[in-house]
Structure 1
Amino acid sequence: MKSGSGGDLRPPKLPIDLTPIELAGLYDENEFSQASLSGDCSDQSAAGLLFEQCAIRRVNLLNTHFSGLRVYNCRLDHCDLSGAQWEEARLRRTEWVDCRLRGASLIDSRCEDVNFSGCSMDDAFFAGVIFRAARFTRCSLRKVNFEGADLSGVIFDQCDLSGAKLPGAKLKGADLRSSNIEGMQVGIADLGGVKVTMAQALQVAALLGIVIREVGEEDNPPDPQLLP
């Protein structure tokens, strides 16, 4: 089955029996498959890592620097990736539950069938990232940088996108209706096909400097206290 929209995600396929592994050091080209992973790998660097069909729970990945990372059919639960820098990452059929990605950076990366739930992602850098079938649910995305990202069809369900940067992002079919978009930065040319409520449309218009007035309505109505 091909990936669909953010509302039609393919969940990770995990085997019933997983081999428990306590992570300590990560090295270039390490591969982990059908495992239950835990441990602290903060401040480590590696290239070509592969995680496939893994349950990754409470793993600290703070300030890690990975290039060419591949995460396929995995569930990440209560992991901390704050400050991580991942280049050319490929995330496919992954679930992220209650994870911290504050200030994390994905560079030249691709996310397909990814589901973020209850994650703290303030100030993350996702500029230029391609999202294919993705959903963010109850996530904090304040001041996240999505500049030039492909967010086509992505669902933002009850998220905080206040101050998020979206200039140049592809938003066709993206659903923002239940999320907070106060102070969001976006260009008028980027809004084609995006789903918003009427109240949000007025918010966006205000952000773009559009003045909405009914015919005959004065721009500056008189002060009632000055009326005779």
Structure 2
Amino acid sequence: MSNKQVLPKVIKPKLTKEIAKKCMNGIDFEDESVIKNACISNYTIQIRKASKVTFEGVIFQKVDFKGIILDSLELTDVIFENCDLSNASLIGAIIHRTEFIDCKLMGVNLNDATLQNVYMSNCNGKFLLMNYIHMKNVILSDCILENSNLQHSKIDKVELKKCNFRLSQMSGTSLLGIDLSDSNFEGVGVRPEDLRGAIISPMQAVEFSKLFGLIIKG
């Protein structure tokens, strides 16, 4: 097996220029709603729970989703900018060609989700739940992901840029070919077989050796 990192080629959301020029400060949806080609700005989502909602070609700017429960959510060609999704439940979501920029994602439940062509930058994702997910062509940049969970998941072509995974749990997720050297993995919970083929820095090699009870003699 090769441990050479294969960098993701993330496809950006496909949005028309006209959408950003027609922002609204309100939106209504219910079970099985399909919202297309819209821009929502400076709004607090009123509905607390909905199932099988689809957002396609949508821009959210400074929108408050805190605590919302969206079962079987589908996101395609969506941008979240300065949004608050803290403690939202998005279990089983399908997320494609979507960006999260400067967002609060603390405690978001993304268990069993599928993420493809996703870009996340400068987000606070402490306590983020990403167990049993499938992640492909994803870039996480300058994100705080302390105490998060990424266990028993499949990740392929994922790039990490200066992220903080301190005290996170990643057991059961293969990191083969993933470059961890630029991010903080202090105190992470991981198995030796999960790290096989990962790309790490010399300092991380010392840190990980402590997890496995090894003693490095100077």
Give TM-score scaled by structure 1 length. Answer: 0.87
Structure 1 position 5, deviation (Å): 5.1
Bigger RCO of structures 1 and 2 (CA < 8 A, at least 6 apart) = 2
- The alignment-based identity, stated in percent, is 25
The partner residue of 2:31 within 28, 39, 43 is 28
Counterpart contact for 1:26–1:41, Cα < 8 Å:
no
Q: CA deviation at 1:21?
A: 3.3
For structure 2, the residue ranges without an aligned partner over 5 or more in a row are none
Query: Given the alignment, which residue of 55, 69, 76 partners 1:72?
Result: 76
Tell me the equivalent position of 1:220: none
2:23–2:40 CA contact under 8 A, matched in 1: yes
Aligned to 1:135: 139
Shift in CA distance, 198/153, structure 1 to aligned 2, threshold 3 Å = farther
| Aligned residue type for 2:208 | V
Q: Does 1:17 align with 2:26?
A: no
Deviation at 1:107, TM superposition (A): 2.3
> Structure 1 residues 202 and 152, CA, compared in 2 at 3 Å: closer, same or farther?
farther
CA distance in 2, matches of 1:13, 1:67: 24
CA distance in structure 2 between the aligned counterparts of 1:178 and 1:170, rounded to whole angstroms: 18
Give the equivalent residue in structure 1 for 2:67.
Answer: 63
Is residue 88 from structure 1 mapped to residue 92 from structure 2 by the alignment? yes
2-structure distance, mates of 1:26, 1:163 = 37
1:121 aligns with 2:125: yes
3-state DSSP class of the match of 2:210?
helix
Q: Which residue of 2 aligns with 1:223?
A: none
Q: Could you list the per-position Cα deviations for residues 38-87 of structure 1 after superposition, in whole angstroms to 9, with x for gaps in the alignment? A: 32115610011111111111111000101110100111101100000112
Unaligned runs of at least 5 residues, structure 1: 215-228
Structure 1 position 207 matched with structure 2 position 208: no
* Residue-pair matches, total: 211
Report if the CA contact (8 A) 1:5-1:133 is conserved.
no
Distance 1:133 1:206 in 2: 31
- Checking the alignment, whether the CA contact within 8 Å between 1:93 and 1:113 is kept in structure 2 is yes
CA distance in 2, matches of 1:42, 1:143: 29
Distance 1:155 1:87 in 2: 23
Please state if 1:191 is matched with 2:191. no
Alpha carbons 1:26, 1:44 under 8 Å: kept: no
Residues 143 and 27 from structure 1, CA distance in 2 versus in 1: closer, same or farther, beyond 3 angstroms? same
C-alpha distance in 2, partners of 1:42/1:121?
A: 23
**SS of residue paired to 2:204:** helix
Q: What does 1:143-162 align with in structure 2 at a 5 Å threshold?
A: 143-162=147-166
Counterpart residue identity of residue 170, structure 2: L
Bigger mean CA offset, 166-175 vs 64-73: 166-175
Secondary structure of 1:85's aligned partner: coil
For the residue of structure 2 that corresponds to 1:105, the secondary structure is: coil
Larger Rg: 1
